[in-house]
Chain A
Amino acid sequence: MIAAGEPAPDFTLRNQDGEKVSLSDFRGEKVLLVFYPLDFSPVCSDQLSIYQEVKPEIEAKGVTMVGISVDSGFAHKAFQDKLGIDTQLLADFEPKGEVARAYGAYIDKVGHANRSLVLIDAEGKVEWVHESPTPLEIPGANLIFDALASANAR
């Protein structure tokens, strides 16, 4: 897994609407990458639904949150609609999992990312990471706010 202090590898992926999104588009603001295993698995649904409920508070701290999984943009669109969320979802689809690999979040034997959170600062440097012990464990939204609070205290 990538570590705090390292430069965040840039990437360009398509979102749920087929638009290209690059990490560098966000330069000047903080970004929270939410790597998750798969669309439509019940556990993921809870994670992104819960984060959606505190999205205004995350954005109030100047952070844009994006979800990333190996699913296609079409699956992402349907997943977004199903969950009723408007968090942007990026398709790490081809080459499969390339971005997750670059961040060290990919699990080869299962073919998808682990549940990992990566907070990137305004200059494109990794500020904080959290890796779940297993994909079954959902990181609470409180951890994101702890990370933001300690980043602000520095």
Chain B
Amino acid sequence: MSTLTSAAVPPAGPEDHRRGEGPELIVYADLGCPHCASAWAELCEHEATIVFRHFPVASKHPRSPALHAAAEAAGRQGRFFELVDSLYEDRGHVDDPHLWQRAELLGLDLERFETDRRSEAVAARVRRDFESGIRAGVTGTPAVFG
């Protein structure tokens, strides 16, 4: 089990999900969180590089782990931010059939999407971000580090 003692927010690296140009904003966000959804639209208007870090709080938003795994799986087909945008734009359709529909609309290989989103590698990738947030003292979402 990994350690969760205090540590600074890890700087953005090649494995991070990044979008945009300009100064980096590292965002710990929960895809099931309504506050994150409204903050997301605003954040994306900034001239900044958004670095997205997974921070699903499952007890509070039971679908969050599935949503983060889906986004990560979409990322493996180069459509990470497209799925994140889609999930934040329409928070009412988050069951599995809705995720398949969203994946189809993005032109993803559905079979691969299914395998990836249920894989241990994807779960571990999401957890890695979550743990770095815990270590940095994140206690709510969204948490933005400039």
Contact = CB atoms under 8 A, between A and B. Distances in A.
Question: Which secondary structure dominates where chain B touches chain A?
Answer: loop
Contacts of A60: 1
Contacts of A138: 139-140
Contact of A145 (B5, B136, B140): B5
A56 B1 CA distance: 10
Interface string A113-148: 000000000000000000000000011111101100
A39 B86 CA distance: 33
Given A138-B139, A140-B138, A142-B137, A53 B130 contact: yes
**Residue of B7, B58, B60 contacting most chain A CB atoms (<10 Å):** B60
B4 interface: yes
B139 A57 contact: no
Interface band, chain A: 20 to 34
A145 B135 CA distance: 9
A141 B134 contact: yes
Contacts of A83: 59-60
Interface residues of B, number: 19
Contacts of A24: none
A142 B136 contact: yes
A141 B7 CA distance: 12
B36 to A, nearest CB: 13
22 contacts: A43-B140, A46-B57, A46-B139, A49-B57, A50-B138, A50-B140, A52-B59, A53-B134, A54-B4, A57-B1, A57-B4, A84-B58, A138-B139, A140-B6, A140-B136, A140-B138, A142-B136, A143-B6, A145-B135, A146-B5, A146-B6, A149-B3
